[in-house]
Chain A
């Protein structure tokens, strides 16, 4: 792919894999609390501590899986670190730069480095824009391409994500769920980011499509040296794609470790409970469900 600006070039060089072990993204003690407002004057009467002191780091080209039951705050982590919702406290460092303290202009530059893929492939595409426009919008907005070059790059992105050139002239509703997710991935890739937050990218898809999308993400990671923060509640998916796994419960990370260590030798009681809750193909096999205090099920 053609690089446009010298700035992008520099970013590219510093993030080569293997030049030291500087993590790409460091999250320190991230807190996101939502105020509960009541009454006529909207007084704050309390807080929902969706994320309450989460720390982790992601190395270049690696995938960190964030698992947990629904409502544990994993999606909020993804959105807070991209500054889509304001965080209450903590720091997020992208290559040593604090994401939360950037002036708007700098933030725009950082946004190019970090993208997000959403769970709902239908809702994440504007129904009134053609696919070419959707995928090309990031490039247009950041002034990275225009005219014929824009069209060329959009077509290239679509083809790279397993679609075809002509898809650019169609509207999102003309595609299946898996295809829409590919469009979403193509859009996220347009800015050539280094980090992609994948917010349950496969949970709205059926199993056969899931594996296609996971393989696509895998290939793209290799090709572009991407790092993923992979948010999911599906242990099988997490096991398939992640290098490291962080287990979240009630807004906190209870355990973090290498994939195999977490899956085979979980240390925390909650992790064991979560693993024991994974459904089995054979319904006759009696499993020992481990119950954990405060688990919602």
Chain B
């Protein structure tokens, strides 16, 4: 039951982010003095910054600012979830941030699962010197601080982009930036996966039914497909459901440091980081912190529910026992 709920929430969030893309990336008129329009998530009106959500009561000060802006015919951002410190629609930013965070989380987890499973299976199954060599490589990669790797990768890619100079538009630079981040996070998180899978393969290899496979003469491909992989589903699913939130959190952390997703592109991580700065003793604009954190939290929770459910689904001994 919780598994279904998790799936519904997750799919709902992903769909909402994707379906709203034309709206969030849509051009809006930001005012008569601006030559060209801006995209909705980056269009702001500085005089209307830090407004509370439209369904909350507004202070007289904020009300005055809003009235003045309407009177002057300035650009009025959507205020359903309030506006940020640049006067941008926070709902649009949360949705775009979701696209980026979920995209990075899911695809880097996918990269980690694919590389990690393949690497671990090969290492565990063939054993011996190959195994020793492959695992020492993993150890070396483990030894390098991953922040350093990601920074180096980001800087290197940045350098390449800059050398290409004007050929690359800012939009493409942003896309390249996000893909770099995704590859970097995915490229680091398969290490744990490969170790987990290798251990599992080692223990599976020693089971009598794998020995029977050899006695029967089952081809290697079939052994992988029918005997190893189905028995690896549980750790793969568990790890994948942990890897997605981990990737989202690393992305947030890197964005917080300024290496990850950069302004004006939002991600849940840098939205939360910005929101944290707006918490103070005088006026707490809690919504700026709450929404991204709530969305990250819901994602992690639904992924965990989904993971639990999948693990049970794939285990024929569960349910009857």
Contact = CB atoms under 8 A, between A and B. Distances in A.
Contacts of B218: 137, 141
B283 interface: no
Given A107-B217, A108-B217, A173-B317, A127 B231 contact: yes
A184 B217 CA distance: 16
Interface stretch (B114-122, B146-154, B168-176, B204-212): B204-212
Interface stretch (A4-12, A110-118, A250-258): A110-118
A278 interface: no
Q: Which of B226, B316, B317 has the most CB of A within 10 A?
A: B316
B316 A124 contact: no
Given A118-B208, A141-B222, A126 B317 contact: no
A79 B217 CA distance: 14
Contact of A171 (B212, B217, B222, B316): B316
Given A42-B132, A174-B320, A191 B212 contact: no
Interface string A157-175: 0000000000000010110
B217 A141 contact: yes
Contact of B209 (A82, A112, A123): A123
Contacts of B86: none
A120 B317 contact: no
Interface in B145-192: none
Interface in B95-139: 129, 132
B226 A141 contact: no
Contact of A129 (B208, B211, B226): B226
Contact of A191 (B207, B216, B222, B226): B216
- For chain B, which range describes its interface: under 10, 10 to 19, 20 to 34, or 35 or more residues? 20 to 34
Nearest to B129: A42
Given A120-B208, A173-B317, A126 B231 contact: yes
Chain A interface residue bracket vs B: 20 to 34
A58 interface: no
Nearest to B206: A123
Interface string A93-108: 0000000000000011
Contacts of A138: 216
Contacts of B320: 173-174
A259 interface: no
Nearest to A134: B209
Contacts of A31: none
A285 interface: no
A125 interface: yes
A116 to B, nearest CB: 5
Q: Identify which of A42, A84, A137 gathers the most chain B CB atoms within 10 Å of its CB.
A: A137
Interface in B185-243: 207-209, 211-212, 214-219, 222, 226-227, 230-231
Interface in A173-232: 173-174, 184, 187, 191
Contact of A82 (B215, B219, B321): B215
Contact of A118 (B212, B216, B230): B212
A119 B317 CA distance: 22
Contacts of A141: 216-219, 222
B313 to A, nearest CB: 12
B316 A116 contact: no
B59 to A, nearest CB: 62
Contacts of B226: 126, 129, 137
30 contacts: A42-B129, A79-B211, A84-B214, A108-B217, A111-B216, A111-B217, A115-B215, A116-B211, A118-B208, A118-B211, A118-B212, A123-B208, A123-B209, A124-B209, A124-B211, A126-B231, A127-B231, A128-B316, A129-B227, A129-B230, A137-B216, A137-B218, A137-B226, A138-B216, A141-B216, A141-B217, A141-B219, A173-B317, A173-B321, A174-B320
Given A125-B209, A126-B227, 14 more contacts: A82-B215, A111-B215, A112-B217, A115-B215, A115-B216, A116-B212, A124-B209, A126-B230, A128-B231, A129-B226, A129-B227, A141-B222, A173-B321, A187-B212
